[in-house]
Amino acid sequence: MIAGKRVCVVMPAYNAERTLEQTVAEVPRDVVDDIVVVDDRSPDGTVEVARRLGLHVIVHPKNRGYGGNQKTCYTEALKRGADIVVMVHPDYQYTPLLIPALASCVASGLFDAALGSRILGGGARGGGMPLYKYVANRFLTLSQNLLMRQKLSEYHTGYRAFSRRLLETLPLEENDDDFVFDNQMLVQALHFGFKIAEVTCPTRYATDSSSINFRRSVKYGFGVLGTALAARLAMAGVAHPRFLSPEGRKLGAV
């Protein structure tokens, strides 16, 4: 716990057999109360490794996609009494050693979410981020900041901490089940007035790190721009997208 708040780490997993144990080994158990692994129908031994490590494991009967996996992660964490939920990718791209820093930002009550930013410290390229991904990250982040009148260093990190209140408030079931879910979630948080902190975070790109190919990256980029544009139109009162509506479906809604 941190400041009396129960901390749950969630890991949306797909083909993480080779890196899951290394990732879990760095989770600070003096702070983290619970670890939930949601396996998205991996064809490898991810589930067996997770169970051997004594983690709470949920296995999707069929692949739901990265966003669909996160919906299950957050729903389960809330069911298990989490006050703060930290998402860590089990491919060891982000070090779990920063979990206390991210969770503390939320536990302080000053922020509703905290992001591990690969950009703040300037080490993204040194950590192996491909040049085209770095350029796309900077272009998309600049575009989103201009459209949404924000100043985040990046919108595309997969290392995040959220308060229970945020997770119960956002209409997350309205979001996509693919990779753009991450971006929609941040746009929702900003749209609903939640405060977001950023913590500099090193990153590691290796052959066993999860990644999407160029074609899916392009699709994600257009999805990101569409999400930011929808938010800008909602700010102007011109559009009322369901994923930015207080009446949108919350986690667990049928």
Q: What does the pLDDT look like over 101-139, one tens digit per residue? A: 999 999 999 999 999 998 887 777 777 788 888 899 999
pLDDT for 128 equals: 77
Walk across the sheet containing 34-39 and list its strands: 56-59, 34-39, 7-13, 84-87, 160-163, 113-117, 196-200
Pairing of strands 34-39, 56-59: parallel
- Per-residue confidence in pLDDT tens, the chain, 254 aa: 999 999 999 999 999 999 999 999 999 999 999 999 999 999 999 999 999 999 999 999 999 999 999 999 999 999 999 999 999 999 999 999 999 999 999 999 999 999 999 888 777 777 778 888 889 999 999 999 999 999 999 999 999 999 999 999 999 999 999 999 999 999 999 999 999 999 999 888 766 555 667 788 889 999 999 999 999 999 999 999 999 999 999 998 75
Looking at the domain assignment, is residue 184 inside a domain? yes
pLDDT for 223 equals: 95
pLDDT for 254 equals: 58
Looking at the domain assignment, is residue 250 inside a domain? no
pLDDT for 70 equals: 98
Q: 43: domain range?
A: 7-244
Secondary structure percentages of the chain, helix, strand, coil, to 5 = 40, 15, 45
pLDDT for 208 equals: 57
Can you give the CATH number for the domain in which 132 is found?
3.90.550.10
Looking at the domain assignment, is residue 249 inside a domain? no
For 245, the token pair is 């509506």
Looking at the domain assignment, is residue 194 inside a domain? yes
Q: Structural domain tally of the chain?
A: 1
Give tens-digit pLDDT for 227-251.
Answer: 999 999 999 999 999 999 999 999 9
Looking at the domain assignment, is residue 46 inside a domain? yes
pLDDT for 177 equals: 96
pTM for the model stands at 0.93
pLDDT for 132 equals: 83
Question: What distance in Å separates the CA atoms of residue 34 and residue 192, rounded to the nearest whole number?
Answer: 28
pLDDT for 166 equals: 98
Count of other CB atoms within 10 angstroms of residue 47: 19
pLDDT for 157 equals: 94
